[in-house]
Amino acid sequence: MCHHKDVTVLWKDILYNQKQAWFTMSSGSMAPLMPTGSQIFVTSLENEKIKLGDIVLYSHQNQLIAHRVLWIRRHHCLQGGDRAVSPSFIALDTIIGIVQKIKINDKEFDLNQRSAIVLSGLITLSSLGIMAVRRIFPRLGQGLHYVKIGVLRVMMALR
């Protein structure tokens, strides 16, 4: 039986040795940016520092999950899927790599391009804002979340 830390170390070693790898998304938690079945290009953390808005691949309960970093605090970060309404904290040492590209139906989207960096910033800020609103006005926060997803769908359709 493999323990959670063992699986994380194993994936980190594999990615560190290969430097990069393609993975396939098996859930829609990052849709519409990364829908189920899309491929993500992940690089190792070798010399990179995790930043707000980065989409990271991390290990949780023997599964690999790709979510956006919304906040960083010492040894933890607040992460969440773009489609999710309830972000959670994870330990930074569970992060295996950073998503650099997304491939949907043979179309690649480079997350290091200026437009992608701006989009990432907008998604991160809107997610944090929605999270704050939801604490005081849950229904309004839920409505704003649906608006965010709708806007993302339109933006993805236009690219």
pLDDT at residue number 10? 80
Q: pLDDT tens track of the chain, all 159 residues?
A: 445 556 777 887 888 778 889 999 999 999 999 999 999 999 988 767 899 999 999 998 888 999 999 999 989 999 999 998 889 999 999 999 999 999 998 899 999 999 999 999 999 999 999 999 999 999 999 999 999 999 998 888 877
pLDDT at residue number 157? 80
One-letter amino acid at 69 equals V
- Its pTM stands at 0.89
Are 19 and 44 in contact, with CB atoms under 8 Å apart?
Answer: yes
pLDDT at residue number 2? 44
State the architecture of 4-158 in CATH terms: Ribbon (2.10)
Distance in angstroms (rounded) separating the CA atoms of residues 97 and 58: 7
One-letter amino acid at 112 equals N
Residue 77 DSSP symbol: E
User: Judging by DSSP bridges, how do beta strands 88-91 and 76-80 pair with one another?
Assistant: antiparallel
Are 104 and 47 in contact, with CB atoms under 8 Å apart?
Answer: no
Angle at 98 between CA 128 and CA 44, to 5 degrees: 155
Q: Where in the chain are the domains?
A: 4-158
pLDDT at residue number 147? 94
Q: Which residues contact 115 (CB under 8 A, 6 or more apart)?
A: none
Residue 105 DSSP symbol: T
